[in-house]
Amino acid sequence: MLQEFRFEMLAKFGYAARGAVFFLVATLALFSSVGGRRPESKSAISSVLDQPFGKIWVGMIGAGLICFVAWRLAQALADSDGHGSDVKGLIVRGSLFGSAVTYMGLGSYALGHSILADGGGEGAGEKGLAAWIISQPFGSYLAITIGVALFVGGIVTILKGLTRKFEKYIRIPDSPSWLTYVCVYGLAARGVVFAVVGVLFAYTGIQVDPDRAGGMADALEWMRQLPGGSVIFVVMGTGLAAFGVYNLVAARYRTVSGPSMANLKRVVRSPFD
């Protein structure tokens, strides 16, 4: 019981931190012409440093994201949500592990800026990662594979929202309520942006040009160039704010099950088998 309580606190603090990040990203997107910062995760965190008690807030976000990493690892390695070990379950758990790696980098970035004088520049992380991947043997094919995986992950996220599969773990009182529809909107918008990031990453591999890679800011800017792009941009930016709401709803209502001791022992023992 105590173990499950601890994992519940980790998960809920983590979801709240991720929600805060996406609120900040959405704010940067919707007011990008005013603030001058790119609407992406690192820029969002850096923008908080300029506020009163900025380092404290950034430190709390960083700590929350590290808690979110711990929860993602419990989902991926110890199968806390019971996805199983068949092909579908392993794919889901693999995506959760990828999420853990991503947020480990973002959480470390936030803590670095909170604790140290400089935790590293904002930089274009996706372009740096793409350059490293392409420099490896068969790197262009690997970049294409990653891009396809990101695109598929985006489609899955869209479907998760539209089919309301998230309600398997998130029980909102009096559902369906306006919160339910905000969550659907947020997941769909996040999925679209995620899919576009995947397309940009795959195009990097096809062109063997890391400058073609991009993150959320580049995906939003690409959509802005489409016919009716200004409207699409606002819809997607507002959708990212809705995804922030989804995370806060998860922080409040998500069912969290700590990994069983048997699963934990198996995870710890397996590298030595």
* CA 249 from centre of chain: 16
- Per DSSP, the three-state class of 35 is helix
Quote the pLDDT of residue 79.
Answer: 87
Q: What is the token pair recorded at 235?
A: 């819809």
CB 199 within 8 A of CB 8: no
What's the chain's length in residues? 273
- Per DSSP, the three-state class of 1 is coil
Quote the pLDDT of residue 63.
Answer: 93
Find the angle CA(255)-CA(62)-CA(154) to the nearest 5 degrees: 60
- Per DSSP, the three-state class of 125 is helix
Contacts of 113 (CB under 8 A, 6+ apart): 45, 46, 49, 55, 58, 62, 119, 120
Quote the pLDDT of residue 44.
Answer: 79
Cα–Cα dist 148/114, whole Å: 35
**pTM for the full model?**
0.84
Strand partners, 254: 170
Longest dimension (CA), the chain: 57
Task: Specify the residue for token string 């999925």.
Answer: 191
Quote the pLDDT of residue 272.
Answer: 41
- Mean pLDDT by 10-residue block, N- to C-terminus, for the chain (273 residues)? 66 93 88 62 79 86 92 89 87 87 86 69 56 75 85 92 92 84 96 90 78 76 89 92 95 79 51 45
Quote the pLDDT of residue 7.
Answer: 75
Quote the pLDDT of residue 68.
Answer: 92
The string of pLDDT tens digits covering residues 91-107 is: 888 888 888 888 888 88
CB 74 within 8 A of CB 3: no
Cα–Cα dist 61/67, whole Å: 10
Angle, helices 229-253/178-207, rounded to nearest 10 degrees = 120
Domain chopping of the chain, boundaries: 1-119, 124-256
Q: Which of 41, 67, 189 is nearest to 126 (CA)?
A: 41
Quote the pLDDT of residue 210.
Answer: 67
Cα–Cα dist 185/121, whole Å: 32
Q: Where are the beta strands (DSSP E) in the chain?
A: none
Quote the pLDDT of residue 15.
Answer: 95
